[in-house]
Structure 1
Amino acid sequence: MKASLEAALQQSGLLDAWVSQQGLGILSAEAEEVWIAPNPQFFGYTLADYLYPTPPEDSSLQAESIDEILRTISLGDSGADNPGASVSEQGYFRLGALCGKAAPKKRAEFIGKETRHRTRLAEMARLETLMEQEQQSIDGCTLQIDRIEGSLNRLASEKSLFPGGDELQEAFSRLAQARREMESALEEERQKVDHFRQASQAYQETTAELHRFMQGWTIPKHTGGLTFAREQLQSYRQLLGELRSHWSSYRISLETLDRTAAGLLEAAGKIEEETVELESLQETLRHINAQIAAFEKALKDLGIEDIDRQLRELEHERDLLKKGMDSLDKEIRKLEREQGIEESKLSGAQELLAEKETTIKQAREAWLAEWNRRLVAEWSETEVSEEQLPGLYRVVQQVLQKYRDEKYIQKSKDGITNDLFLAFQECRGNLHSYGPELVLDEEHQRNLVLFMRDRHNPLPPHALVHELKTTEEEQRLLLSQKDRELYEQIIIHSVGKAIRYKILRAEQWVQQMNRLMEQRDTSSGLRLHLKWEPRAASNEKELDTLQLVNLLKKDPQMLRNQEIEQMIEHFRSRITWAKQEADQHDTLRQWIYRLLDYREWFRFTLYYEKGEQPRRELTDSRFNALSGGEKALSMYIPLFAATYSRYNDCRPEAPKIISLDEAFAGVDDENMRDMFGLLTQLDFDYMMTSQVLWGCYDTVPKLSVYEIYRPKDAKYVTLIQYYWNGFRRMLVDEGMVEENA
């Protein structure tokens, strides 16, 4: 029981608390202690029922005082009737509203005179044991010192046995030469190793580049495989050249066929012309024969000489006509041969044309079957058919122009199929609930992506996208009312209330800062004024900041439905923009925090007046036109005013500390005096550094100044302390410091 009581008293702080008849009178102003104020309890059990006072004979405390202390502490749970101190036999204690339980002790150490005596004896025995241990440590250190001194003596004797300086110098020279040779060899070895490492690295890089270049190839990655691939590539290049040559021959044959057909038409025209000319010649021949007969008759009438002359002329003309007819017969036979050749070529060209038309028809049917799948949403509304070939060809030309780029020209069918397979595998997990499958269309030899959620009605990708967009629009319409209620509850009531309070508080800060700045009377007549101006809206769906702030300042119960809708639309537009930005960088939480930060809705604009000039905005160009002192004042005065406004939120006893490095540089004495007056008026505690500033002005009631003196770049500095009492500056010596202490 005694141990439990002692543990409870020790844990609660009552065991080692001060007891004094004078109470607080014995404590100094800077002291910090715990004492017991007597408040005897005459009803119920107290410590006086178990303990009795035994003060030392030389103590100033009386047994009665200690008895009152013991009766102040109740025994057991005092409950709410006694708000004082109490302890229990189980180790529980109570100090007013403070309750607790102490850990049990093995035995009591301080309660009881005999107990304290035994505790002192045990502590003395423990300290004597520690002293013996320390003495053993001292003896061990002494032995170690003796051993070290013996080692030093041996080292001194060995040093005396060392050889002379010449021998050491020669040995040192040989050692230095050997070291240089070894360093040269090591350097040569290092260069060899670096060269080998570079060669190995180049080989590894080349091998890695080869593997990256041959990634996906089935060619073995060794010299034999590459040699065989090069030979196959050369064979492929040769075959490709032959194919190109055959293609050129084919194109030349087509051109020859076209020229032959044109020549055949021209020959037919010529044959027709020659036939007409032959009939004309035959008519001429009959006419000549008739003339011959007439001439023969006339010859008979005229005489032989005339007849003979006319006969020779007619024979000559007949020979000429015969030669012309022979020439025409040859030309006709030649044209007939050419016509036969061209007809055979025309027959071959017609067969080739029929094959091409069949191929084109098959390709057109395959293309129409592919087109009717409506896989591309952009062309899903365009209708084409076999009956309207001109319209079909126009659509094909438009598709070719749109998709004829490097993305598809440089890829083969197998490459595009592999890309489709990879994209399908990436999206398959996310769209698992819709049953995506990659189906092979054997008729057209192509892969189809279908969603088999309904096996009887599989959907292509664009149909599923259209269905999902329709569902999304329906969900958006269903959630719009709940969305409006959420915006109204958060923006207008909870968040809006906090923003409204902060904006009103910030406006009060600005007004307070302007009052402080207007009170400044500088030597140049410079006066400053600060405005907290709202920013304009970024788009037509958003409200101007001034309009938004006016709505937030209103009582939510007084807002009209139109005003509430304007606020909700404003924040909905901002949150939509935040979602778009969050997809690119940062998180949505960070962007929501930024758009609800009311400080981003405003901007601070500083204005100034000088003399009789009107108030103007302090832009960079106008700031640069001010003097050095005016520039400093235009920075310090708003800074001090803003700091003072922020410090007004703290408790009255909190210190208002500021620190300045190279304080008030470039400010003249008159304005500097006003600056210190402003610091005094604002009740700032400040620390400043400067090369020339002392701060000894009549606007400063008291100030401690330290001058740092460092003579001739010494390795130490000297601090010289001064004290300004509001009237004069005094040097502070050690006596004054001790006296003030």
Structure 2
Amino acid sequence: MKNQLTAIPSNWEEYQKVRDALEKARSNAAKVADLNDYARNQALQAQAEENELQRIAEISNVEELSERLRVLHEQSEKLLTEIDEVKARHIRADERSQNLANLLLESEIQLTRARAERTKKQGHFTTQLTAYPVEQLVQLQQVASSGNILNAAQKLLEGVLLENDIAVQKEQLEDKQRVAYNHLLQSFNQEQHLLHEYGPSLDDQDRVLFLYENKSNPAELLQILSDRIEMQKTLLDQKERQLFEDFLLQEIAEAIRTHILEAEEWIQHINGVLRSLPMIGEHYELTWKPPVEYDMTKLGSHLARHYKLLRKPSQTLTAEETETLMGAFRQEIDTVRQKQEEDPGINFMEVLEQIFDYREWFHFDVWVTPIGGQRQRLTDRLAGTRSGAEQLFALYVPLFAALAALYKSAAPGAPRLLALDEAFDKVSVANTQRIMEFLVSQDFQWIMTGPQISGNSEKIPASARYLMIHEKGSP
């Protein structure tokens, strides 16, 4: 029994080995069966191929097959050649397509330019038609305004202009233009003195413009003058008067406000310059203020009393302030109406200009402050107690300030020229130099004569000095 128990492990190991060997044998048997099936299938396929070859051999021969292969090869070569030719044609067609696309793009660009040029010339043509609305051009303008600008141009040229006739027609038109221009220039010169107040001038295209009437052309000036005549002849009804007064409040009052603020700003600027430039031991200051009382018989005095309201933007005025200004406007217009009834020849527009001339509402004062002294208003009485140099400075300061204000309204780049003979006589060299530096600060240019005039200063950018010698006994 003991021996049997001892043999059990070894017997179990042998059993496991036998079972593994059995499994391998079974696996090998399955693989052999698969290989057998594969070999059988290969044999069957080979047999089928052999049968097929025998069948083909029975119905054909090698020479026919070779011939067929040759023909197929030639066809293949031919097809390859045709494919290459088609590819080449495709490339050439693509290049032509690209060239046509580029030509199309250039044509579209040229077309756009031509249309822009056409629009520009049509606009210029329309502008020329409206510049001088004589009877013939008015009719053509009506045709052009309907959109048929080409028809209007053809009517002006009295027919369709052929390409061969362009040069001849152009020369004829230029001759007519020269003749017409000479006539126009003669008329312009003859009538210029009558139109002087409107600023007649010729622009760069030799068209007559009136500078003082917003660069209006003759037709526009004629309309403006006609409107003014009608304004003077026709009495406005109450509603039209009210609208006119409202316009004055919204437009004129705003313009006056702007000018007053600009004037105050200019005075501050001038005083800033004068404060930094002591002359003969004194400082000068300008003030611009209304009088203590207005002369109510003068035009514009009703408005002048309310200048503080005119300094405010119209949209910030209260209803009461608006009514106050409107009442002042009505008083001024009633005054104008009364004057027209007394004198029908009064020019309404000129009277309105007097009413709205805000410069008459204020006056300038010159204040003098000696260094370490008390500020004083310069009056005739005070000026009489001062030295000669002090009196000259009291004259120069307001004079140059007024001249600077006048030049401020000039066009940009306009010269700011002044001329003085025997300038600053009896004034010291140092004070003369200070005055000239003040003139430089205000962008003045000057021509002066005097024994002590000199441009030698770092603050004077450029100067030219001439010495005149007069011999005794010479004429």
After TM superposition, the score normalised by the length of structure 2 is: 0.46
Structure with the bigger RCO (C-alpha within 8 Å, sep 6+) is 2
After TM superposition, the score normalised by the length of structure 1 is: 0.31
Structure having the higher helix fraction is: 2
